Amino acid sequence: MKKIDCDVLVIGAGGAGLSAAQAAASAGAKVLTVDREEACGGVLCQCIHNGFGLRFFNAELTGPEYALRMERAARGSGAEIRCGETVSSVVRRSDGTFEATLFSAADGVTKVESRAAVFTTGCRERTRANIAVPGDRCAGIYTAGSAQKLMNLNGMLPGRRALIVGSGDIGLIMARRCRWSGIEVAAVIEILPEPSGLPRNIAQCLRDFDIPLLLSHRCRKIIGRNRVEAAEVENMTTGEVMTFKCDTILFSVGLIPENELLKAMGAKLDPATGGPGVDSSLQCSVPGVFAAGNSLHVHDLVDFASLEARRAGESAARYASGAGLPAAELPVTCSRTLKYVVPGRCAAGESCEFFFRPTVSCRRAKLSFLADGSEIAKKMCVSVRPAEMLTMKADVPAGAKNLSFELEECK
């Protein structure tokens, strides 16, 4: 059995994990990054479309190009990266250090000892089972991400005529990808009265290709015994039921942060995000454990996930070195017009970047930061909608006892 010692263990080598590794190694820590896939990049490797890196690299890149740049930066900073390694458990020992158990085809079992751990394990897709669509378990049913991998990495077509359930960004991008590949797209249906994906994807992936988007519609039943033959779609407003002939159905109905390892460690999860509750250092309820990226909360852009993970890597390196972190004891709350705020705790006197997910749609809104009921900072937001994350940098005043954020529509 192999044994490896490091200062910071980063679990997951996607955009967030590589950013955390680069930041921790640049801060002087000995970093080991592990990923169960055979190559770095996570889901970026199958995203062959462009639009990545505009904020992080100030360049428009494809997913694989973004992943390659991140990998080079992480390795260049001195971080070790091991792919094809699956982490089965992470245990915090009585002395405050961590022991992780890794499995791989090449090395069997490997034990890793570290002084801090960063979880950047990404998220998984919600499936047909999560939304309970009746019908037989026939061939031709995929999540949008699995179909994307099948097409972009394996060079295979999932079918000839597709119906896409849900207007998440992956589903919208796959609608366009299907059309490019000669697959007819019957429609994209969305149970909500507004799209779940980014406006740019609605325009570039649907409108530019004349693909119908049916809002307030749900998939009522899948028809087919051996292979999908059709789907019943119900108009939630009128009750009208339509039948769409198709041999393929792609589900793009949301993402779930992947945190099974953290739950096993006893980390407290935030029901609003599905990820762990963290403070301004992105430290979880378990001391020495940090989280960032989609395993913390689902991001719109990998650029935001990478920027956030940089802070997690720096905090982990500082913790591993024995230097203290800010005593983040002030809870942060938000109004009902915001689904959540991350981080949920911070320290008085520090500067922090906060992330939000709105629950309302409006053309203009004011995001206010309040300390003890008094507004100390504000940000005007244009075209607010649940599909787009909001961010705000703010200085926490010394002596503050209660911190909160409010989002109000401007009429």
pLDDT above 90: residue 78:
yes
Instruction: Tell me whether strands 116-119 and 123-125 are parallel, antiparallel or unpaired.
Output: unpaired
Give domain 127-253's CATH architecture. 3-Layer(bba) Sandwich (3.50)
- Report the pLDDT value the prediction gives residue 1, as an integer from 0 to 100: 83
Architecture category of domain 326-411 in CATH: Sandwich (2.60)
Mean pLDDT within 126-150: 96
Domain ranges of the chain: 1-124+255-325, 127-253, 326-411
Does residue 366 surpass a pLDDT of 90?
yes
Q: Report the distance separating Cα 96 and Cα 116, nearest Å.
A: 9
Per-residue pLDDT band for 268 (boundaries 50, 70, 90) equals: very high
Query: Which DSSP category does 208 fall into?
Result: G
Residue with tokens 């005593």: 327
**If you average pLDDT over residues 278-302, what whole number do you get?**
96
Omega before 343 cis (within 30°)?
Answer: yes
pLDDT, mean of residues 280-287: 96
Show the CA angle centred on residue 357, arms to residues 355 and 362, nearest 5°.
Answer: 125
pLDDT of residue 94: 95
Task: Give tens-digit pLDDT for 373-386.
Answer: 999 999 999 989 99
Query: Is pLDDT of 348 > 90?
Result: no
248 pLDDT higher than 90: yes
Of 166-180, 268-282, 324-338, give the lowest mean pLDDT range. 324-338
E strand or H helix at 346: strand 345-346
Interval 84-125: pLDDT, tens: 999 999 999 999 999 999 999 988 999 999 999 999 999 999
Predicted confidence band at 387 (pLDDT cuts at 50, 70, 90)?
confident
Q: How far is CA 307 from CA 67, 109, 117, 205, 209, in A?
A: 14, 33, 18, 27, 33
pLDDT digits (tens, 9 = 90+) for 27-72: 999 999 999 999 999 999 999 999 999 999 999 999 999 999 999 9
- Split at pLDDT 50, 70, 90, the class of 327 is confident
For residue 324, pLDDT beyond 90 = no
* Same fold yes or no, 1-124+255-325 and 127-253: yes
* Average pLDDT value over all residues in the chain: 95
Reported as a pLDDT band with limits 50, 70 and 90, residue 326 is confident
Q: Could you tell me which CATH number the domain at 1-124+255-325 has?
A: 3.50.50.60
Given pLDDT bands bounded at 50, 70 and 90, which one contains residue 127? very high
User: Would you place residue 185 in the very low, low, confident or very high pLDDT band (cuts 50, 70, 90)?
Assistant: very high
For residue 372, CA distances in Å to 115, 280, 402 come to: 37, 19, 5
